[in-house]
């Protein structure tokens, strides 16, 4: 057993010495490629949402829950709304990685200049204009001289509502506009301190549900919704169907036409591609269900966004989730998806190495044996070149040298698969010894014959 372990250890050492450098080279190339490609996304990502208890904040919490399943922590940061979110993304010193931005907030040239990408449109955000009036208003010109709350500047609604007023030939200065947050504005509207309030939000918001069913509060119907959508490409016309609020009470009693920008998910262009994939897949899970203004599968999509669409998001909308993501955990699928080219390159590198390294291993083991053949040859040459007078002394010296060679050869340990070469070497040593002895005997016999 000790001899067997010694031979085994020796074989492993030879394998390590021979195969080690090529494998080390392959590992080094793989590590360098891994660092350059960086397949592992950051563990923490910051999402700028909206006001407290707003639709944006509630959705941000849902995104955080979905990404938490994959080990990604989403830090949700509150904001005034879409406009402030966009400003945060523009700021290079901001820690915001991704945010909800309303369509129409920027344009293609500006988005490309500051390095923003869209992950797609998520849902429509109708413009809800609630007002107090005994009679129904059907045109924005009728809101002159009324007190209307448009919300904080950071929401983006003031800019949008201003564009709508100007398109109708109404100077925003002809209205008394205030910038209260939605909760405070709702209290003011119900108490009669203001005449109306406008904001943009998903239909599921609790504030909308409450105002739609509050007596004395009307929802403005944009009868020219189709015209608005043609004038402003980032807007779409949607219909609040008759009876959608309450079928039993037939609320509303008629279809209401609304105009709606869309909420988009916008990120910095340097956001890790794996995180982009995760957010797009989370968007499909969160926003794919049917709603008041959409059918199942309508969202998310690549429409209604003036910001360049991320390539991975575009692939997702065309072909669905990547093949590997359907069968493998996210981290493993992401690793193979981003490292497959490197793995192919390493395979191409290993192929020639697999043909070169094994012969090198054989050569290394046999070289420990073959180098002694050089010693044997030098012994033979020394004897053959010796003169008749010195041959006896040379033979004696070379026999002693052969004994030393044989002793050192007997101490060789080589893998058992190469034992045949070792025994051949020992037999050749014995062959040279016999030849020297034969020459030595011949020299002695010749000397005795010449003696008087």
Q: What is the pLDDT of residues 378-400, one digit of tens each?
A: 888 888 888 877 878 888 888 89
Residue 338: the pLDDT is 65
Number of residues in the chain: 452
Q: Which residue do the tokens 């509150």 mark? A: 78
Contact 80, 54 (CB under 8 A): no
Residue 450: the pLDDT is 58
Give the contacts of 433 (CB within 8 A, at least 6 positions apart).
399, 402
Residue 444: the pLDDT is 64
Residue 4: the pLDDT is 46
Residue 13: the pLDDT is 64
Residues carrying CATH 3.40.190.10, the chain: 38-122+264-321, 126-260
Query: Cα 419–420–421 angle (5° rounding)?
Result: 90
Report the share of the chain in percent with pLDDT over 70.
84
Q: Cα separation of 257 and 276, whole Å? A: 35
Q: Which CATH superfamily is domain 38-122+264-321 in?
A: Periplasmic binding protein-like II (3.40.190.10)
Contact 177, 146 (CB under 8 A): no
Contact 220, 137 (CB under 8 A): yes
Q: Which CATH superfamily is domain 126-260 in?
A: Periplasmic binding protein-like II (3.40.190.10)
Q: What's the 3-state SS for the chain? A: CHHHHHHHHHHHHHHHHHHHHHHHHHHHHHHHHHHHHCCCCCCEEEEECCCCCCHHHHHHHHHHHHHHCCCCEEEEECCCCHHHHHHHHHCCCCCCCEEEEECCCCCHHHHHHHCEEEEEEEEECCEEEEEECCCCCCCHHHHCCCEEECCCHHHCHHHHHHHHHHHCCCCHHHCEEECCCHHHHHHHHHHCCCCEEEEECCCCCHHHHHHHCCCCEEECCCCCHHHHHHHCCCCEEEEECCCCCECCCCECCCCEEEEECEEEEEEECCCCHHHHHHHHHHHHHHHCCCECCECCCCCCECCCCCCCECHHHHHHHHHCCCHHHHHCCHHHHHHHHHHHHHHHHHHHHHHHHHHHHHHHHHHHHHHHHHHHHHHHHHHHHHHHHCCCCCHHHHHHHHHHHHHHHHHHHHCCCCCHHHHHHHHHHHHHHHHHHHHHHHHHHHHHHHHHHHCC
Contact 86, 114 (CB under 8 A): no
What tokens does 432 get?
A: 């040279």
CA 239 vs CA 99, 222, 417: distances in Å: 27, 10, 84
Residue 324: the pLDDT is 67
Residue 353: the pLDDT is 67
Residue 20: the pLDDT is 67
Q: Cα separation of 192 and 105, whole Å? A: 32
**The whole model's pTM is what?**
0.64
What tokens does 35 get?
A: 């660092």
Q: Cα separation of 253 and 360, whole Å? A: 88
Q: Cα separation of 232 and 196, whole Å? A: 24
What tokens does 177 get?
A: 């506009």
Contact 385, 35 (CB under 8 A): no
Residue 342: the pLDDT is 64
Pick from 396, 248, 273: nearest CA to 325: 273
What tokens does 10 get?
A: 């020796």
Report the share of the chain in percent with pLDDT over 90.
30
Which residues in the chain come in under a pLDDT of 50?
A: 1, 3-10
Q: CB-based burial of residue 395 (10 Å sphere; 0-12 exposed, 13-18 middle, 19+ buried)?
A: buried
Q: Cα separation of 127 and 113, whole Å? A: 29
Residue 445: the pLDDT is 64
The number of beta carbons lying within 10 Å of the beta carbon of residue 86 is 27
Q: Which residue do the tokens 């002693």 mark? A: 400
């Amino acid at each position: 057993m000790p001899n067997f372990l010694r031979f085994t250890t020796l074989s492993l050492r030879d394998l390590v010495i021979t195969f080690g450098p090529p494998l080390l080279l392959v590992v080094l190339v793989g590590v360098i490629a891994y660092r350059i490609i960086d397949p592992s996304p950051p563990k923490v990502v910051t999402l700028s949402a909206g006001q407290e208890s707003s639709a944006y904040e509630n959705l941000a919490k849902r995104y955080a829950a979905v990404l938490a399943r994959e080990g990604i922590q989403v830090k949700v940061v509150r904001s005034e709304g879409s406009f402030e979110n966009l400003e945060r993304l523009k700021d290079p010193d901001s820690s915001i990685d991704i945010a909800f931005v309303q369509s129409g907030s920027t344009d293609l040239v500006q988005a490309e200049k500051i390095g923003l990408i869209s992950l797609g449109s998520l849902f429509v955000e109708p413009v809800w204009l609630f007002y107090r009036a005994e009679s129904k208003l059907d045109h924005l010109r009728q809101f002159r001289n009324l007190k209307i709350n448009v919300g904080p500047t950071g929401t983006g609604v003031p800019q949008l509502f201003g564009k709508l007023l100007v398109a109708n030939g109404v100077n925003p200065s002809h209205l008394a506009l205030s910038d209260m947050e939605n909760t405070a504005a709702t209290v003011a509207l119900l108490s009669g301190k203001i005449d109306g309030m406008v904001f943009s939000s998903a239909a599921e918001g609790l504030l909308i549900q409450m105002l739609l069913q509050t007596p004395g509060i009307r929802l403005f119907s944009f009868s020219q919704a189709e015209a608005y959508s043609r004038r402003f490409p980032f807007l779409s016309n949607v219909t609040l169907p008759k009876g959608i609020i309450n079928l039993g009470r037939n609320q509303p009693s008629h279809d209401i036409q609304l105009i709606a920008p869309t909420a988009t998910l916008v990120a910095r262009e340097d956001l890790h591609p794996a995180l982009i994939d995760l957010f797009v897949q989370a968007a499909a899970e969160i926003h794919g269900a049917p709603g008041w203004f959409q059918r199942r599968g309508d969202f998310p999509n690549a429409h209604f966004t003036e910001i360049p669409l991320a390539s991975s998001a575009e692939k997702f909308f065309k072909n669905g989730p990547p093949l590997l993501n359907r069968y493998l955990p996210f981290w493993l699928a992401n690793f193979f998806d981003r490292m497959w080219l490197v793995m192919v390159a390493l395979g191409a590198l290993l192929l020639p190495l697999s043909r070169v390294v094994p012969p090198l291993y054989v050569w290394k083991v046999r070289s420990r044996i073959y180098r002694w053949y050089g010693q044997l040859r030098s012994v033979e040459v020394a004897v053959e070149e010796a003169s008749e007078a010195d041959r006896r002394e040379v033979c004696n010296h070379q026999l002693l040298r052969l004994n030393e060679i044989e002793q050192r050869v007997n101490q060789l340990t080589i893998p058992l698969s190469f034992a045949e070469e070792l025994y051949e070497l020992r037999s050749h040593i014995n062959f040279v010894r016999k030849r020297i002895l034969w020459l030595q005997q011949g020299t002695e016999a010749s000397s005795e014959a010449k003696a008087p």
